[in-house]
Amino acid sequence: MRRNLAIVLTSALVLVGCGSGSGGGLDAVEVGSSKNPSVTVPEDFTTDSTETRVVNEGSGDEVQDGDTVKLNYVAVNGRTGKQFDNSFKAESPLTTQLTEGSVLTGFVKGLTGQKVGSRVLVAIPPKDGFAEGQARDQAEQTLGVKADDTMVFLFDIVAKVPTEAKGAAEKLPKTVPSITLKDDKPAGFKTSGDVTKDPEKAAAYVAIKGDGEKVAKGASITAHYVGQVYPDGKVFDSSWDRGTPSTFSLDQVIACWKDLLPGQTIGSRVVLVCPADSAYGDSPQEGSGIEPGDTLTFAIDLLDAS
């Protein structure tokens, strides 16, 4: 179920905006205090506008529109009173950017201005939830949320995710392409006469050494990255150009990432050199800008992991 909600929330959403409410009916919602808190809503609970109630206020920074945040939550259908997802129970927080088009409008309205460390109840009406857009049918099929259902979320705002690597700079070997920057963000690589022409093995190099926790095998990571055909060919992908970091499981990426990112520390900027047999081999996606047999290189800022 946890994976289903993440898929629905990150689908292409076309949602209608409206003004937020200020608490009203949420006073009737009961919240448990355990590590896996219960949420009890009155029968056929509805709201006409997004409402927020702070259960416990944290002492961290305020969350702003556009921030990437890590959230634990319980999700309840107001019509049925039943939970349809629970990240506390799954021990799998959601990392998402609070911006319309990336996540539900109700998330943005309900969480913007709240402090990290807070526990917050948010009631989301259909117009700020799944009433419209490409995720509509998916929400009903996978979550049981109908077009006219109000949803109630209990959020713990765990952290605000950094936007870039932070730590001690380390010098890359001369045999590795050097990172080029645009507006102080990695934009690609340039080569020199010392760079290895045809690397045979996948390898990782640290450009900035962060002091966070080590990435575990199979972890879900949030990262900014740029990918380029080795050593200084076409840039085929860049989360920096999109303006949004990406979150994905290391079990669902190319072997080079899956094998070499575990053990790296959060906050680091890592350069990966990925020969074809650890990347897309002879079958890259059509239109990707990658040719069969291409070696690839990536600059990756490791921002968060869970």
Instruction: For 81-131, write each residue's pLDDT tens digit.
Output: 999 999 999 888 999 999 988 899 999 999 999 999 999 999 999 999 987
* Angle of the 136-143 helix axis to the 2-9 helix axis, nearest 10: 170
Q: Tell me: pLDDT of 24 over 70.
A: no
- Rounded Cα gap, residues 174 and 171, in angstroms: 9
**Which of 30, 50, 28, 27 has the alpha carbon at shortest distance from 38?**
30
Q: Tell me: pLDDT of 16 over 60.
A: no
**Which of 150, 140, 6, 144 has the alpha carbon at shortest distance from 73?**
6
Please enumerate in sequence order all residues whose Cβ is within 8 A of that of 141, keeping only pairs 6 or more positions apart, or say none: none
169 exposure class (CB count in 10 Å sphere: 0-12, 13-18, 19+): exposed
- Rounded Cα gap, residues 97 and 151, in angstroms: 20
Q: Tell me: pLDDT of 3 over 60.
A: no
Contact status, residue 65 vs residue 157, Cβ threshold 8 Å: no
- Average pLDDT of the residues of the chain: 91
pLDDT for 205-264, tens place per residue?
999 999 999 999 999 999 999 999 999 999 999 999 999 999 999 999 999 999 999 999
pLDDT tier for residue 4 given thresholds of 50, 70 and 90 = low
- Rounded Cα gap, residues 87 and 65, in angstroms: 22
Structure tokens at 91: 């021990």
State the amino acid at position 281 in one-letter form: G
Contact status, residue 223 vs residue 303, Cβ threshold 8 Å: yes
Measured in whole angstroms, the distance separating CA 158 from the mean position of its chain's CA atoms is 13
Residue 6 CB neighbour total at 10 angstroms: 18
Architecture of the domain made up of 168-305: Roll (3.10)
- Rounded Cα gap, residues 127 and 2, in angstroms: 23
Contact status, residue 59 vs residue 124, Cβ threshold 8 Å: no
pLDDT tier for residue 161 given thresholds of 50, 70 and 90 = very high
- Rounded Cα gap, residues 21 and 263, in angstroms: 45
The highest-level CATH class for domain 2-160 is: alpha beta
210-223 per-residue burial string, b: 16 or more CB within 10 A, e: under 16 = bebeebeeebbbbb
**Which of 52, 49, 51 has the alpha carbon at shortest distance from 125?**
49
pTM exceeds 0.95, yes or no: no
For the chain, the structural domain boundaries read 2-160, 168-305
Contact status, residue 9 vs residue 87, Cβ threshold 8 Å: no
181-208 per-residue burial string, b: 16 or more CB within 10 A, e: under 16 = eeeebbbbbebeeebbeebeebbbbbbb
**Which of 13, 26, 15 has the alpha carbon at shortest distance from 123?**
26
Q: What is the pLDDT of residue 33?
A: 85
- Rounded Cα gap, residues 118 and 189, in angstroms: 41
Residue written as token pair 């556009």:
66
Q: What is the pLDDT of residue 92?
A: 87
